[in-house]
Structure 1
């Protein structure tokens, strides 16, 4: 069964901000930072993490993150990667079952 997966993390930085993330079955990701009313929509292929001195920076290749750096702890970054991998595996399995 393919459902939207939701999670909430605390971004690292000077001021801790909550970030809500939804990973959709069609392999898109919706990122919302309510405190600054900022949203990012992206395909999972356009996202990657970059190791920085502040933590793991989530980078979107096709969209400007504006003035909102998305620094995650290593633990949260790994958990998010695992969730995205699980959704992608489910999507691939569904597509192969349909063929």
Structure 2
């Protein structure tokens, strides 16, 4: 059975949503910093900490993480800063 949506590994990065990790103070200029990007195909890529292991057992009823999925966490102010760049539709 195929899923109604699949991530496209052939797409590329289009634009950052919100402010850079440097602007928000979430990095020491290392390459391991959170970020949110719109992809060329319209999907969203989130770079953050993989907390699948510690949070996976705390999921609400009816929520699951597929074998090829991860729970990714980014700072709250990063998503708030991205809000103006996210279309309503």
TM-score by length of 2: 0.36
TM, length-normalised to structure 1: 0.33
The structure with the larger Rg is: 2
Q: Which is richer in strand? A: 1
Q: Which has the higher helix share?
A: 1
Q: Using CA pairs below 8 Å that are at least 6 residues apart, which structure has the higher relative contact order?
A: 2
